[in-house]
Amino acid sequence: MDLYEYQGKQYFARFGIPTSPGAVADTVDDAVAQATAIGFPVVVKAQVKVGGRGKAGGIKLAADEDEVRAAAASILGLDIKGHVVRRLWIERSSDIEREYYASFTLDRPAKLHLCMVSARGGVDIEEVAATEPEAIVRAHVDPVDGLTLETAAAIVERAGLDEAARRQAAELLVALYRCYTEGDCDLAEINPLILTTDGRVHALDAKVTLDDNAAFRHPEWEEYAGTETSDERERLAKERGLNYIGLSGSVGIIANGAGLAMSTLDVVNQAGGAAANFLDIGGGANADVMAAALEVINTDKEVKAILVNVFGGITRCDEVAKGIVEALERVDLRSPIVLRLDGTNAEAGRAILTEHVSERLIVEDTMLGAAARAVALAGGNK
């Protein structure tokens, strides 16, 4: 789960990572009130989970009440790459001497944590990474050892941070590592990490991605739940505990297992169609799960045919078949279903469906045959 900048900064604060004083505002009046309380000048920042906010006019400096009012009015409601701004973060403006970069993430091939620090932070960090990779120091951290202040200091020095920033930056790096590990982040990134003209080091931005698998030990993450997704179909699916991603084609997809679901998208594409979604119902494909999956897909007006692709392993195909029959009684579907069942008890599953087969429920023997049929029913072309 990606956090908004303001959530990321609040998360940083839990681990003692210094940020600028600031507050959230959802209306123009609110923005003015918060700015007045914080003290001018302030920066008004759009809260969207997409990069390039500054260039899109989503970040503005304001020296007084009138300027805050104008800035907030222009940013709220702004569409930044398809993300409409509904919330602002107002924070005290900083006098920036230098912009650095710092992050922690997992280096999958090495199976170790990766710390990256650069003295060349700011908006062009990706260009720096591409053209001058040596300007970014990469250091592995073994989770068994953790990150000591000594090691952090060595990394900061190697990255060439200014003398005045080093001690604070090293301490901040240790705090960021704690946030990343104890806070169960997939990514904890600060760009820019700044040195102010009066010699303080702090995080001017926050990019935090939380590991959803760790939610069981972070009850405090509850507060992020409602702010997560903008796609109505995805919100509905999440409520029902389904792993759903909305796409733009006309063939609704239901499959068990992420790999099989991805593969189903592929074969629909190879058959000349396009998937309306990715939906993995996981291992337990009972009637409730199947009904919920069909309900979510049924809300998508673009869907012209539904392809259900199930390979029974532990999930028995006769159970899946019963689930589909029950689901059909509960859900009034707009589109025909093409079903492919294979694996454990596939014969029994198909037998259960025999009497229900119609032009609204078609059973195909193979994955490729089912994909071709669904694409044809959906009108063929992408």
Partner 1 sequence: MSIFVDENTKVVVQGLTGGQGRFHGLRNRDYGTQVVAGVTPGKGGTDVDGVPVYDSVAEAVAATGADASFVVVPPKGAPKAIIEAAEAGIRFIVCITEGIPAQDEALFYNTLRRDYPDARLLGPNCPGVISPGKCNIGITSGDIALPGGPVGIVSRSGTLTYQALHELSQQGVGQTTCVGIGGDPVPGTNFIDCLAEFERDPDTKAVMMIGEIGGSEEERAAEFIAAEMTKPVVAYIAGVTAPPGRKMGHAGAIISGTSGTAQAKMEALSAAGVTVAKNPTEAGERMVEVVKNLA
Footprint on this chain of partner 1 (rule: CB under 8 A): 106, 108-109, 111-113, 142-144, 181, 184, 186, 211, 213-214, 216-217, 243, 245, 247, 255-263, 265-270, 274-275, 278, 280, 283, 311-314, 342-344, 366-368
Nearer to partner 1, 119 or 372 (CB): 372
Q: How far is the CB of 204 from partner 1 (least distance, A)?
A: 24
Calculate ∠ Cα 99-100-103, nearest 5°: 145
Pairing, β 136-141 against β 112-118: antiparallel
Pairing, β 88-92 against β 22-25: antiparallel
Confirm whether 6 is a catalytic residue.
Answer: no
Is the C-alpha dihedral spanning 52, 56, 59, 63 positive or negative?
positive
Nearer to partner 1, 100 or 311 (CB): 311
Is the C-alpha dihedral spanning 88, 92, 97, 98 positive or negative?
negative
Q: How does 179-194 read in b/e, with b if 16+ C-beta sit within 10 Å? A: bbbebbbbbbbbbbbb
> Given 11, 100, 101, 177, which residue is catalytic?
101
Rounded-to-integer distance, Cα 120 and Cα 164, Å: 16
Nearer to partner 1, 275 or 362 (CB): 275
Backbone phi, psi, residue 57, to 5°: 85, 20
Nearer to partner 1, 8 or 22 (CB): 8
Centre a 10 Å sphere on the Cβ of residue 123 and count the other Cβ atoms it contains. Answer: 13
Closest Cα partner for 187 from 116, 124, 245, 244? 116
Nearer to partner 1, 33 or 262 (CB): 262
Nearer to partner 1, 36 or 344 (CB): 344
Q: How far is the CB of 341 from partner 1 (least distance, A)?
A: 12
Confirm whether 101 is a catalytic residue.
Answer: yes
In the block, residue with structure tokens 């029994």? 348
Q: How far is the CB of 212 from partner 1 (least distance, A)?
A: 8
Nearer to partner 1, 70 or 187 (CB): 187
> Given 5, 91, 189, 364, which residue is catalytic?
189
Asked if residue 192 lies in contact with residue 122, where contact means CB atoms within 8 angstroms, the answer is yes
Rounded-to-integer distance, Cα 374 and Cα 77, Å: 39
| Residue 190 in tokens | 């600060």
Nearer to partner 1, 130 or 163 (CB): 130
Asked if residue 117 lies in contact with residue 137, where contact means CB atoms within 8 angstroms, the answer is yes
Quickly count helices (H) and strands (E) in the chain: 12, 18
**In sequence order, what are the residues at sequence separation of 6 or more whose Cβ sits closer than 8 angstroms to the Cβ of residue 254?**
279, 281, 290, 293, 294, 297, 306, 307, 308, 309, 310
Centre a 10 Å sphere on the Cβ of residue 199 and count the other Cβ atoms it contains. Answer: 11
User: Partners of 96 in the beta sheet?
Assistant: 196
Q: Which residues are catalytic?
A: 101, 189
